[in-house]
Structure 1
Amino acid sequence: MSSSFIVLAKCIVFLYLVRGIATKVEYTNINCTSLDKDFCDFEYCFLKSVNRSYKYMSLKVNLFKIPVTNVKVNFSLLKRFSGYKPFLYNITVDACKVLRYPKSNPVFVWFHGLFSKHSNMNHTCPFEHDLVVNKLSGNYVNTQFSEVLPFPDGEYLFQSNWYAYNVNRAVVNVYITLASEFLKN
């Protein structure tokens, strides 16, 4: 009886000292590839580490044949086990339709919400300008992972294939690590 009381007391002390568990997102790599250089090309695509705790990513793709009126996107989430394996989501959507009617695909809306506030890709078709994601910080993505839809710890790959007029034009791969940390009082 006394050993179970000691275990219970340790649990109460632990819960008192630890306020909660938070997920921390850290970018590890980004890779942008243009598959049709006559249609589009990346002006830049990089991660920038400002200090130990603040990293952001930025990318800009120049569109050479505008306006673009037909866009499909394939988003996949892969988790590293022994190599990257499919994890949870692999969807292809008509981006023009979903941006017009966001309730038609909540999974795409969640993926799009990861970068939409830091991008000029937040309107429906046609796209008549270069596409930019500017200074998307790990802290912003962290909010999406911890508050909106919690994920287990691990190494992940967000793979996105961007189709225009049913031809794969670009691939953007973002590698992240999720790690839980304990918050103390």
Structure 2
Amino acid sequence: MHKILHLFIISGYLTAILSHVTFTNLKCGTSDKGFFDFEKCYIKAVNRSHKYIDIYVSLKKVPMDNVTINVKLMRYNNGYKPFFVDVTYDACKFLKNPNKNPIVKMLYYAYVNSSNLNHTCPYNHDIIFDHFWTGNWETDFEKYIPTINGEYGIFNNIFQNSIFRGYIKFYIRISGRQQD
């Protein structure tokens, strides 16, 4: 059993060393623009191999608490199909103690330095992801989830008081490491 675990850890490190991640698409949407709206939701190319994401969520009803998020990792194979992760968590409880959910913690630490999601609920201000770039995925995300080259999606559904409020879908491509 320990040998299998070591193999997964080593393959994860090799994936992180030998692969390149690039954002290919980004979709943001809301079911109730009176609750929150996306003022920014786009990918910007820095150069041929690196892109970053900017998202600005304008909260219309504050304070925002009792937030649940469903995260699904999807792999493209004649349509996006579930792959490895499908987790639903209470975002407010998670922010109080990030160590309780290691998969969500890994995803959170990939973007926390590029956002203002750095404190517990309630949120009385707009939510900003500023220059969230693909290098964050290469160094943090792939170290722990072994993947093969291909197209992937990270689908996030956002609920507040158990009511669907919106979504953010990140589309990425994982390929062999590109030389700069």
Query: Which TM-score bucket, shorter chain as reference?
Result: 0.7 to 0.9
2:169 paired residue among 148, 163, 173: 173
Tell me the equivalent position of 1:70.
66
The CA RMSD measured in Å over matched residues stands at 1.7
Distance 1:180 1:167 in 2: 40
Contact 1:30 1:175 survives alignment (8 Å): yes
Contact 1:22 1:146 survives alignment (8 Å): no
Tell me the percent identity.
Answer: 37
Unpaired stretches in structure 1, ≥5 consecutive residues = 1-19
1:47 paired residue among 36, 43, 46: 43
**TM-score (norm. length: structure 2):** 0.86
Tell me the equivalent position of 1:102.
98
Tell me the equivalent position of 1:124.
120
Does residue 38 of structure 1 match 2:38? Answer: no
Alpha-carbon shift at residue 69 of structure 1 (Å): 1.7
Does residue 139 of structure 1 match 2:135? Answer: yes
Distance 1:149 1:123 in 2: 26
Aligned length: 164
Unpaired stretches in structure 2, ≥5 consecutive residues = 1-15
Alpha-carbon shift at residue 140 of structure 1 (Å): 1.8
**TM-score (norm. length: structure 1):** 0.84
Distance 1:182 1:111 in 2: 23
Match for 1:179: what amino acid? S
Larger Rg: 1
Alpha-carbon shift at residue 30 of structure 1 (Å): 0.2
Secondary structure at the residue paired with 1:115? helix
1:86 paired residue among 70, 75, 82: 82
Distance 1:182 1:62 in 2: 36
